[in-house]
């Protein structure tokens, strides 16, 4: 066997000892085999170039055009809502505009002309039975006249208002007279009733509710304008059978 000596202190090592008995040096320690490191040339390493702004220029990210147009559209919608609210406040719910309150009554009396629009027609009770007996139109046929416009004229005196229509409404009625009408601060609002004198319907009544306002004329050739609603209700009685017929008109006439 080959003699061994401690590489540090030179002491002879007897046997297969792993340490020097004198200095404690570790002997016969197996060396780890190092794995060779493969070097990859820099030009072979794949790289992805980063976008960089040109020299002297600031990088500006692309704009989100959809978001911009959404903001613009929202602004327009908000402006439209605000405008509608302002107009509603100005007109106070009256489509004809501001009501005239400063006038002389003798200046507003006279003749007016325009249209009457049929807003709604309704029947109730045993109307259909009465209609069959009297040869009147059924509710289905009457409803067809809703939204129709009829040429209309008004005659206003100191105490009465007469509404004349070119086409008859119900029971051949073309003319309705409202007694004791009074425009106070530009508004005439009240109701009146009368008996119906039509053969078998002699015990029937007609009631007229009106809500009319005074405004400036629409054109330069007109001085005043009467606008508003007139509701006419017929309470029909035929041989003890009762029914109702109601019609609502919007009157719009200029003087």
* Cβ within 8 Å of residue 188, ≥6 positions away: 161, 181, 182, 210, 211, 212, 213, 228
SS3 label, residue 206 = strand
Around 192, how many Cα atoms within 13 Å sit in the side-chain half-sphere? 16
Q: What is the DSSP letter of 138?
A: P
Q: Tell me which range, 18-22, 68-72, 100-104, is most confidently predicted by mean pLDDT.
A: 100-104
Q: Tell me which range, 6-15, 45-54, 200-209, 225-234, is most confidently predicted by mean pLDDT.
A: 225-234
How many other CB atoms are found less than 10 A from the CB of residue 178?
Answer: 19
SS3 label, residue 130 = helix
pLDDT reading at 30 higher than 60: no
Closest CA to 114 of 143, 156, 170: 156
Question: 71-127, pLDDT tens digit by residue?
Answer: 766 777 777 767 655 554 444 457 888 999 999 999 999 999 999 999 999 999 999
Entry pTM = 0.62
Question: 128-187, pLDDT tens digit by residue?
Answer: 999 999 999 999 999 999 999 999 999 999 999 999 999 999 988 899 999 999 999 999
Distance CA 78, CA 85 (A): 11
The pLDDT assigned to 66 comes to 61
Task: Please list the residues that pair with 117 across neighbouring strands.
Answer: 149, 250
Residue that has been written with the tokens 């208002």 in this structure: 161
């Amino acid at each position: 066997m080959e003699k061994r000596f401690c590489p540090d202190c030179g002491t002879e090592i007897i046997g297969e000892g792993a340490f020097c008995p004198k200095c404690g040096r570790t002997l016969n320690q197996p060396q780890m085999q190092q794995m060779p490191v493969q070097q990859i040339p820099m030009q072979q390493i794949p790289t992805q170039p980063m976008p960089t702004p040109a020299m002297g220029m600031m990088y500006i990210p692309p704009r989100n055009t959809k978001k911009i147009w959404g903001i613009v559209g929202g602004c327009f919608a908000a402006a439209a809502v605000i405008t509608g609210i302002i107009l509603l406040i100005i007109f106070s719910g009256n489509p004809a505009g501001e009501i005239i309150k400063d006038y002389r009554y003798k200046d507003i009396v006279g003749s007016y002309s325009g249209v009457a629009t049929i807003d709604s027609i309704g029947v109730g009770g045993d109307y259909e039975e009465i209609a069959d007996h009297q040869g009147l139109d059924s509710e289905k046929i009457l409803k067809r006249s809703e939204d129709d416009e009829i040429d209309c004229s008004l005659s206003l005196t100191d105490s009465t208002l007469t509404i004349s229509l070119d086409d008859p409404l119900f029971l051949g009625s073309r003319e309705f007279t409202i007694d004791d009408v009074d425009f106070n601060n530009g508004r005439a609002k009240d109701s009146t009733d009368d008996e119906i004198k039509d053969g078998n319907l002699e015990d029937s009544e007609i009631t007229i509710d009106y809500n009319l306002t005074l405004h400036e004329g629409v054109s330069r050739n007109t001085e005043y304008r009467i606008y508003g609603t007139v509701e006419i209700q017929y309470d029909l009685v035929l041989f003890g059978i009762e029914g109702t017929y109601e019609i609502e008109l919007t009157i719009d006439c200029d003087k």
